[in-house]
Amino acid sequence: MEILRIENLKVAIDGKQIIKGLNLTIHSGEVHAIMGPNGTGKSTLANVLAGKPGYDVIEGKITFLGKDLLELEPEERARAGIFLAFQYPVEIPGVTNANFMKTAVNEVRKYRQLEPIDAYDFLQMMKEKASLVGLDSSYLNRNVNEGFSGGEKKRNEIFQLAMLEPTLAILDETDSGLDIDALKIVANGVNTLRNPERAFLVITHYQRLLNYIIPDFVHVMYNGRIVLSGGKDLAHELEAKGYDWLKNGNNNGVN
Amino acid sequence: MKFYECIQKFFEHKFENNQSYDINKRRDFLNKFLHLGIPTTKHEEWKYTNLTFLDDLDFNFVHDNQKFLSNNLLAELEYHDFSEFYFVPIVNGFYLDSQATLNGFFDVQRINDESVFSSNGSLLNFERFFNGNNPFSFLNLAAFSDSVFLQIKDNTVLERPIVLQYNYIFETSSLSNTLNFIEVGENSKVSIIILFKSNNASKVFANEYINLHLKQNSSIEISFLQYDLSNLILLNNLNVVCDIGVFFKSNYFSFETQFVRNNVNLAFEGINSTAKLNGVYIVSSNNFVDNHTMLYHNQPFCTSDEDYRGIINEQARSVFNGKIYVARGAQKTNAYQSNKNILLSNEARVYTRPQLEIYADDVKCTHGATAGFLDQDSLFYLTTRGIGKEKAKALLLSSFVSNNLERVEQSELRNILKELVAKKLNLENIYFCSAINELSKV
């Protein structure tokens, strides 16, 4: 089933065009990886999908589960099944993870016309999902991301992903700032959450993460466009040749 | 001019022919007030506190001690959240001893003019705070209707707080002045909650004073709770004198207050004392809240720490004016001050003014003040989790004041405050989650 279709997307920030005609289609169960050098528009794409204010979509169309995604507010997108794991998760002092997640889960449940979750069930669910990414239950009483290490913040993102059970999960540079052990924990969490109904869009600068989260498709983004698409081996090829390979125009896909 | 006429009439009616008052003393103070007059915005301490509306207020002063209190009104006095605490009610300017709940470790007495004004009277320690900075201080001395002396004995730790509750249940526009004294004995520890309750039926001008003497090695947490005061003009004054080795903590919470001015004057008169001033105000519509603090570091080795935070919505206005004075010789003073504000509308206004006056050379003093809007990145983060914008804003606002709520040591009060803030921010369901927090500890 088709989950996401991006057609000829063009996006500008403060009048400067960042994405310059991007096409991408994602089906359920698929894991897509987007790679590319810095400043090429990868994170912009993630933010536009999640609905961050400040981005001008000047052309193109994004369809999510048959709906016009660009018409929806960020919270509506989340309730409809889009999840963005942030590159830089925000600290929220004074709000515990438990309060935060209970609010979020109930808002999503309300949208799906379900009753608010029972306190005991919720607690069990929290504990189960937290253990998935190696966070112990004391973490539930800690304030959202406050004083978390880089690794804990990223694990918290995957924990939230597990709690909210999205249809499309976007991971924006989730591997940045992670040591190899934390990377494995995060990747294992993601792999556990893979299922035939859910799709992932994994944005990464390095091939390293893709050793643990094996993608079905790899897209290379450069200068605001996807210039090359292929299978998982493309990532290895990129790693070996470096991004200069693209910049030097040695590939037919590059304009 | 109406206000002055009312004051004169009030004075003549209540005091001139009453034997129990020291009319000469009071007349002097009245003249001082009339001479200084209602401060205008040209007055440095009242620059952002516009009182011109007082001119148009017409107060009716015909009431007598306790006679007006029907049983129905007495029933209103009960405050269920604090029913387990010691209770000292002051109703329409009079201490209502029949309704008080006391115990043997402290003493509450009504005191007369003589014991207030005499050469070694209760006022002696505090007279310096009654000055031109606040002309209404003289009005209070001229027109206080009742005076209570609350004494916590030496070497006493009170497990339960004392609630001193001001009730305003007037039927017509009225004036209330009380002059109260609290003394915490040596090595004693107490928590005192000052509650303001009004039936808001008529306009009330309240000019209340608490004079607090903290004796050697004593400790106090004094918490002021002001909410739903839609028809009260409140000048709430606290004067504090700290002896050696004292710990003082104050909490000021103002929610939906039409007009509140909180004055704190605190003097360190002994070494090794600490004062922590904590405050949260959440105001909207045309509310006004003003926190003025004046700390006198007169002795070395003392620490003061002020942290006030506010959320200002719609056309509400807030003022913070924090002044720290460090006397010559008050070395090793540590003084921190912070005032942070979030504005929720373009019409909301914040006037914040930290001031330092330092005459010693070995001190650490810092101050900071901010006024801004909600952080958009945080807001976006919450909305990407499916949380609607309004609820996300409310979560961030509760987050903004959460540290100040946690600083309240008295746990029942802290919980009540959390509930009040949650309700104020439409977050009832959020704080319900504290139950989850409890569960997850099991």
For B:92-131, CB contacts with A below 8 A are none
Domain of residue B416: give its range: 377-442
pLDDT of A217 strictly over 70: yes
Chain A residue with the nearest C-alpha to that of B405 = A94
* Residue B397 at interface with chain A, using a CB cutoff of 8 Å: no
B396 and B344, same structural domain? Answer: no
Q: What is the pLDDT of residue A138?
A: 84
Together in a domain, B131 and B193 = yes
The reported pLDDT for the residue numbered B77 is: 60
B79-85 long-range contacts (CB < 8 A, ≥24 apart) are B79/B163, B79/B165, B79/B195, B79/B197, B81/B412, B81/B416, B82/B161, B82/B163, B82/B193, B82/B195, B82/B412, B84/B160, B84/B412, B85/B160, B85/B161, B85/B162, B85/B163, B85/B193, B85/B412
Specify whether B344 is located in the same domain as B383: no
- For B388, the closest chain A residue by CA position comes to A75
Q: For the domain with range A2-247, which CATH number is right: 3.50.90.10, 3.40.50.300, 3.55.50.30, 3.30.70.1290?
A: 3.40.50.300
Q: Are residues B87 and B179 in the same domain?
A: yes
pLDDT value of position B428 = 59
Interface residue B280 vs chain A (CB under 8 A): no
Exposure string of B320-353, with b = 16+ CB inside 10 Å and e = fewer, is bbbbbbbbeebeebebbbbbbbbbbeeebbbbbb
- Residue-range domain boundaries for chain A: 2-247
Regarding whether B276 and B193 lie in a shared domain, the answer is yes
Tell me how many domains chain B contains. 2
Contacts of residue B211, defined as CB under 8 A and 6 or more positions apart, other chains included, come to: B122, B123, B125, B126, B129, B179, B180, B181, B182, B239
Nearest to A107 among B377, B386, B434 (CB): B386
Are the Cβ atoms of A102 and B436 closer than 8 angstroms?
Answer: yes
**pLDDT tier at A255, thresholds 50, 70, 90:** very low
Among the listed ranges A19-28, A206-215, B76-85, which one has the minimum average pLDDT value?
Answer: B76-85
A94 and B399 within 8 Å at the Cβ level: the answer is: yes
Q: Do the chains contact at B403 and A164, CB–CB below 8 Å?
A: no
- B163 is written with which tokens? 């609630």
**Record: contact A93-B385, CB cut-off 8 A:** no
The minimum CA-CA distance between B268 and chain A, rounded to whole Å, is 33
Nearest-Cα residue of chain B relative to residue A51: B384
Residues of chain B with confidence (pLDDT) below 50: 65-66, 430-442
Mutant choice from B311, B342, B379, B381 vs A, greatest count of A C-beta within 10 A = B381
Give the Cα separation of B116 and A115 in Å (integer): 63
Are residues B280 and B424 both part of a single domain?
Answer: no
CB A168 within 8 A of CB A26: yes
Interchain proximity B439–A104, CB inside 8 Å = no
Per-residue pLDDT reduced to its tens digit, A113-142: 999 999 889 989 999 999 999 888 888 889
Q: Are residues B216 and B71 in the same domain?
A: yes
Do residue B307 and residue B286 come from a single domain? Answer: yes
Q: Which residues neighbour B159 within 8 Å (Cβ) at sequence distance 6 or greater?
A: none
Instruction: Please provide the distance, in angstroms rounded to a whole number, between the alpha carbons at the two ends of chain A.
Output: 32
pLDDT at B142: 95
A-B C-beta contacts closer than 8 Å: 114
Give counts: helices (H), strands (E), chain A: 8, 12
Are both B277 and B417 inside the same structural domain? no
pLDDT of amino acid B438:
46
The interface predicted TM-score of the complex, written ipTM, equals: 0.95
pLDDT of residue B69: 58
pLDDT given at position B16? 79
Taking only residues 130 to 169 of chain A, the set having a beta carbon closer than 8 angstroms to any beta carbon of chain B reads: 137, 140-141, 143, 160, 164
| From A79, A99, A143, residue closest to B433, measured CB to CB | A99
Q: Express each pLDDT in A53-80 by its tens digit.
A: 999 999 999 999 999 999 999 999 999 9
Domain limit, last residue, from B339, B354, B376: B376
Q: Supply the pLDDT for residue B70.
A: 57
Question: Distance (Å) from the C-alpha of residue A21 to the closest C-alpha of chain B?
Answer: 25
Per the CB < 8 Å rule, is B391 touching A73? no
